[in-house]
Structure 1
Amino acid sequence: MTATKDPPQGAHAPDLEVRHRHISIDGVRIFYREAGPADAPVVLLPHGYPSSSFQFRNFMPALADRWRLLAPDYPGFGYSDTPAGFAYNFDGYADLLDRFAKALGIERYALYLHDYGSQIGLRLAIKAPERVAALIIQNGDIYEDELGPKYGTLKAYWANPTPEAREKLYEAVSEEGFRDEFVGEIDERLVERVPPDLWKLSWPLVTEERREIMVGLMEGLKENLGWFPRYQAYLREHHPPALIVWGPQDGFMPEGAARAYLRDLPDAELHLLDGGHWALETNLAEIVALARDFLGRVYA
């Protein structure tokens, strides 16, 4: 029988548990995950397509001893409401993220920018640059000349938006389409690290209304290209401390899309990982170690 010792009097183990909560913002019920002390520096985690705050489920407790991490589900995704009349576009989601932070009393934060979350987070940063302490950038594209080959289907639709071309976008919003997003491009040896829960659990939450919202966001990416110069100008003007962690096995955002950030953030740290778009699934330990070091210096 092994004896155990009680912790020293007054000592407390850090609370690393993730809380699963809801908040009402202008009558819209928003689900979010939270971890870490209420008075700790904040890391705000806007999610990407086709996931939800679920994508940060492992990252959050790994940093919860020193930081407060907040990850909401957007309206129309995950466990949040899908209200009629909401602006289901990048402006609407950026505004929602802003109101979410204000509702929780968050005045300053680091932003984790990934996939659609990079478009939403950077619009928030442009709106309130004084609130941004730092950026962690992980497979979030803002350089049109470095878009990968998987943009081909979208570009074809933008050039000729026929009903037949739109049907291809619609077909991609499916369980098989979700699976391809998560494991369709990475090396076979990495596939077993990616849990099927990512598509098996998220697909049943996709109603016909939500499916149309997702297709609409794909259509909206064309207009979003016009924001790329604005994102770049924000980086040049404000020089936020930045950590770039990137999985180059990514048909939408290959290695060049990561290196392009150095044009506007020449002092940023760039780390190329042995992974793809969903590197938090395949390279979690590496990203956690890099983020802990980086945030520790930002919030020193």
Structure 2
Amino acid sequence: MHFQQERDGQHRSDAADRAVRHRFVTVDGIRTFYREAGPADGPVVLLPHGYPCSSFQYRQLMPALADRWRLVAPDFPGFGHSATPDPAEFAYTFDGYAGFLDRFAQTLGLGRAALYLHDYGSQIGLRLAIRRPGLIAALIIQNGDIYEDQLGPKYDGLKAYFTAPSGEGRRKLAEAVGEAGFREEFLNDVRPDVAARISPDLWQLAWAQLDHPVRREVMVGLMEGLRENLQWFPRYQAYLREHRPPALIVWGPQDGYMPEGAARAYLRDLPEAELHLLDGGHWLLETNLDEVAALARRFLERHHAGDRT
């Protein structure tokens, strides 16, 4: 009986250690929502989110790793549950978000961290890495594009707009910021059997959170900002070549924006990186969670395990 009580207590302790906690912190005067899981003194994994999602995209990965690592996922200003400051007071750009992510990490006292790079989060996270290379312990790279010659066919419309901007082109960008456009972002060329594993809650929740005049305009501005972001690609690549951070590349090649070639291109600058192509698309944490979590665990054990004593 005593043994059973101890075992039950251990199970409750494990469950508590893995629980995701939902919190707010003020960063630069901005009320910022974030999710956190794992021991307070564990090695940090920082999880910047992509478009059109929020920290919600990490809700299942976080408890899967929370027995060993401290996982922290903020909602950027204008996304999720965080505030939406006046555009005159906050720079809704990739560089602005990188600065915000830096100050968020400093506010929480996170210190050295592994970065999960996905979608827009890859652009923001790599800009942070360039700013503060000493902060970066390792990279987990998942469908985050930084090689212009490997962009998929879904970029064709954006590239045409970048070449010849017009009011009609901008109107089409604005039309993509809606529930139907978000559905396309989440399904994004995956096979029907993979699409069946992607819940419509994702695009419905994203639209419910982003259906706000300022937020809709921010989303369009970020899409326009991808043109300037292309000029950063060589800088991201140079950072990788210079610093050679340990890297796990885990990729869903069923991705009209970032196909298989976009993953393999990382090996140009990180030839020692570990590359895994999974049977999924852009949102692997919805369709291939167990595989990603297992690969991330083995990688982090080798490269960002902290004090084992």
TM bucket normalised to smaller: over 0.9
Identity over aligned pairs, percent: 70
Aligned 8 A contact 2:23 2:35 in 1: yes
Aligned amino acid, residue 215 of structure 1: V
Q: Distance in 2 between matches of 1:143 and 1:26?
A: 33
The corresponding residue for 2:221 is 216
Q: Which runs of 5+ in 2 are unaligned?
A: none
2:58 paired residue among 56, 59, 73? 56
Q: Distance in 2 between matches of 1:37 and 1:279?
A: 25
* Farther-moved stretch of structure 1 (128-137 vs 187-196): 187-196
- Whether 1:158 and 2:167 are equivalent positions in the alignment is no
The corresponding residue for 1:276 is 281
1:70 paired residue among 69, 72, 96? 72
* 1:75-86 paired onto structure 2 within 5 Å: 75-84=77-86, 85-86=89-90
- Whether 1:111 and 2:112 are equivalent positions in the alignment is no
* 1:88-103 paired onto structure 2 within 5 Å: 88-103=92-107
Q: Deviations over 1:203-229 (max 9, x none)?
A: 112202101100000000000011101
* 1:133-152 paired onto structure 2 within 5 Å: 133-152=137-156
1:125 paired residue among 117, 125, 129? 129
- Whether 1:44 and 2:25 are equivalent positions in the alignment is no
Counting matched residue pairs gives: 299
Residues 226, 184 of structure 1: alpha-carbon distance in 2 compared, 3 angstrom cutoff: closer
The corresponding residue for 1:183 is 187
Alpha-carbon offset, residue 184 of structure 1: 3.5
2:201 paired residue among 174, 193, 197? 197
Q: What's the C-alpha RMSD, in Å, of the aligned pairs?
A: 1.6
Q: Which runs of 5+ in 1 are unaligned?
A: none
* 1:17-36 paired onto structure 2 within 5 Å: 17-36=19-38
Q: Distance in 2 between matches of 1:4 and 1:276?
A: 46
Aligned 8 A contact 2:188 2:282 in 1: no
Q: Deviations over 1:153-187 (max 9, x none)?
A: 10111111110011111111110100111114111
Q: Deviations over 1:235-271 (max 9, x none)?
A: 0000000000000000110000000000000000000
Residue aligned with 2:5, SS: coil
TM-score (structure 1 length as normaliser): 0.97
Alpha-carbon offset, residue 196 of structure 1: 1.2
The corresponding residue for 1:5 is 4
Q: Distance in 2 between matches of 1:51 and 1:36?
A: 22
Q: Deviations over 1:36-59 (max 9, x none)?
A: 000000000000000000000000
Q: Distance in 2 between matches of 1:65 and 1:33?
A: 15
Aligned amino acid, residue 200 of structure 1: Q
- Whether 1:242 and 2:241 are equivalent positions in the alignment is no
Q: Which has the higher helix share?
A: 2
The corresponding residue for 2:294 is 289
TM-score (structure 2 length as normaliser): 0.94
2:234 paired residue among 229, 235, 238? 229
Q: Deviations over 1:11-52 (max 9, x none)?
A: 573211100100001210000000000000000000000000
Residues 8, 95 of structure 1: alpha-carbon distance in 2 compared, 3 angstrom cutoff: same
Aligned 8 A contact 2:117 2:144 in 1: yes
